Amino acid sequence: MKLGSTIIAGGPKYILRLFVSGILINSTRAIRNINHICELYLKGDFKLEIIDIYQQPEMAIDEQIIVVPVMIIKHPFPERRIIGDLSDIGKVLEVLNLN
């Protein structure tokens, strides 16, 4: 669990934020793909936030989102971003340091 810039022991190993845009095809595909990846590779040791930029525009502004879908890996550090529908599982696993 995140508190300020400190991760509390016993919290999830991965903290992910996926920014999407309504029901656009790439956004729905990204949601489906990250759910599949989390189920197979992160095995419950994650926190996934799905943020629709139309419903929560302030979060998109705070994170300086200029394109969607984009996933931000908040933890483990360093923070990383991956743009697109997350269909390249190998690339997603590489960014998550799981390959």
Instruction: Residue 89: give its domain's CATH number.
Output: 3.40.30.10
Domain contains 78? yes
Domain contains 41? yes
Task: Quote the tokens at residue 30.
Answer: 């990204």
Cis geometry, peptide bond prior to residue 78 (ω within 30 degrees of 0):
yes
Domain contains 40? yes
Domain contains 55? yes
Cis geometry, peptide bond prior to residue 57 (ω within 30 degrees of 0):
no
Domain contains 45? yes
For the question of whether the overall pTM of this predicted structure is more than 0.95, the answer is no
Domain contains 88? yes
Does 24 score more than 60 pLDDT?
yes
Q: pLDDT tens across 53-88, in order?
A: 999 999 999 999 999 999 999 999 999 999 999 999
Domain contains 6? no
Number of domains in the chain: 1
User: For residue 49, what are the domain limits?
Assistant: 12-95
